[in-house]
Amino acid sequence: MIEKALKGGRGYWAWVAFLLVVIGIGVTAYARQMTIGLGVTGMGRDISWGVYIAQFTFLVGVAASAVMLVLPYYLHNQKAFSKIVIVGEFLAVSAALMCMLFILADMGRPDRVLNVLLYPSPHSMVFWDVMVLNGYLFLNLISGWAVLGAERKGVAPAPWVKALIYLSIPWAFSIHTVTAFLFAGLPGRHLWLTAVLAPRFLASAFAAGTAILILITFILKKVAKFDAGPEARLKLSVLASYAGLANLFFLGTEFFTAFYSNIPAHMHSLQYLFFGLEGHAPLVPWMWFSLITGIISVGVLLSPPLRRKNGALIAACIGLVVSIWIDKGMGLVFGGFVPTPLEAIVDYMPTATEISVTLGIWAIGLLVLTMLLKTAIAVKTQE
């Protein structure tokens, strides 16, 4: 079926070529990182994780959000999603792939990555994360591909596919819960040491991921003349609005607990992120932009007349994605390291090499997504 991804117009190939150029830049930057070491990044002894782990965290959420289509369609028979369930599944595949590439890019000795399987350590959350992420990628790829193949032949999917799809639903929740547990179980990192982290991860994932899905339906409508239909978009926008609301609520509870209890260690990271700490405030404008954009976007999505307008819906979805990307793809990871265990305040700034590798991995994910969606739409429109 994948051969269908090799047939496209000029715009399609221009997009693919653009992605290949970005991938090329990313690979070059990665080669530099492999030659010199992770010292070429902005990370250091104090801020020991940076953009890579932050992107990983954000993208696990995007991967998990496929369940926002799979669950209503397969468990609640929401026919409105019939055309785009496959979009969600393939988005999950490409996001999970990017997650793994970001982990690889972050590793000091990627040549030893198989040690994770060679010396399985169930006490380590990384071990579980590797298990669930790989499992999720293959669950979505196999079930999505099998359903699509059956559709091409005009037959019903094999019975075992249903089992995989049902399995993928709790699995989606598990990937983001385990990702939260990577952070939430570490003593002495107070921004992360909170029981609400896993619920908040799920809420922000279902908000940002669903918003991305809505945006993809608009893009497909424009570039591929493939319309998921306004009903599907409307249903998704309701899901995104409540997930976004839950995310804001959880953020509010974090503020309450930290500032009402008045425990310095609990307040420090939030102070650093939102108000600045001892003169260090590099992320303050970003965090306020994220918070305000998030509130406005959720407000628009919650209003029935506004979310029916395509322009407002698109703007709100972009706003929600950007807001959560700043919060989760930057603030959460960088802020968690400040102050350091020895009470130092250290700022982190990614380098050009680091950003190039990051863009390269995003481009790889987008290329895989483009080819998978191209195949899916060719089958669905019987080109």
Partner 1 sequence: MSQNRREFLKKAGLGALAGLGAAAGLFPAFALEQTDMSNFTDKPVPGKVRWGMLIDTRKCLGNCTECIVRCHHDHNVPDFGKSKNEVKWIWKSGYENAFPTASTQFQNPEVLERQVLTLCNHCAEPPCTKACPTEATFKRWDGIVSIDYHRCIGCRFCMAACPYGSRSFNWLDPRPNIKELSTAYPTRMRGVVEKCNFCSERLVKNELPACVESCPEKALIFGDLNKPDSEIRKLLAANETMQRKPELGTLPSVFYII
What is the closest distance, in whole angstroms, from the C-beta atom of residue 198 to partner 1 in the complex? 17
The CB-of-271 to partner 1 minimum distance in angstroms stands at 15
Comparing CB distances to partner 1, the nearer of 155 and 342 is: 342
Radius of gyration of the chain (CA): 21
Report the residue number, 37 or 230, with the smaller CB distance to partner 1.
37
- Find the shortest distance in angstroms from Cβ 144 to partner 1: 29
Q: Measured from the CB atom, is 98 or 220 closer to partner 1?
A: 98
For partner 1, the closer of residues 24 and 341 by Cβ is 341
Kindly state the smallest distance separating residue 331's Cβ from partner 1, in Å: 16
Q: Taking the complex as a whole, how short is the minimal distance between the CB of residue 141 and partner 1, in angstroms?
A: 24
Query: Among residues 9 and 188, whose Cβ is nearest to partner 1?
Result: 188
* Cβ pair 132, 174 in contact under 8 A: yes
As a whole number of angstroms, the distance between CA 8 and CA 133 comes to 31
Nearer Cβ to partner 1, position 36 or 223? 36
Of 136, 115, 111, the C-alpha closest to 126 is 115
Q: Where along the sequence are the contacts to partner 1 (CB under 8 A)? A: 36-39, 42-49, 103, 106-110, 112-113, 115-116, 118-119, 121, 123-127, 130, 182-183, 185-189, 265, 336-337, 340-344, 346
Contacts of 259 (CB under 8 A, 6+ apart): 267, 270
In the complex, what is the shortest distance from the CB of residue 332 to partner 1, in angstroms, rounded to a whole number?
13
**19 CB-contact burial (10 Å; exposed 0-12 / middle 13-18 / buried 19+):** buried
Burial label for 300, CB within 10 Å (0-12, 13-18, 19+), is buried
Residue 206 beta carbon to partner 1: minimum distance, rounded to whole angstroms: 26
Cis peptide before 339 (omega within 30 of 0): yes
Length of the chain: 383
Rank residues 34 and 223 by Cβ distance to partner 1 and give the closer one. Answer: 34
Evaluate whether 198 touches 181 at the Cβ level (below 8 Å): yes
Angle at 92 between CA 38 and CA 120, to 5 degrees: 55
166-178 burial code (b ≥16 CB/10 A, e <16): eebbebbbbbbbb
Min dist. Cβ of residue 245 to partner 1 (A): 30
Query: Could you tell me if 161 and 74 are in contact, meaning their C-beta atoms sit under 8 angstroms apart?
Result: no
CB closer to partner 1, 119 vs 153:
119
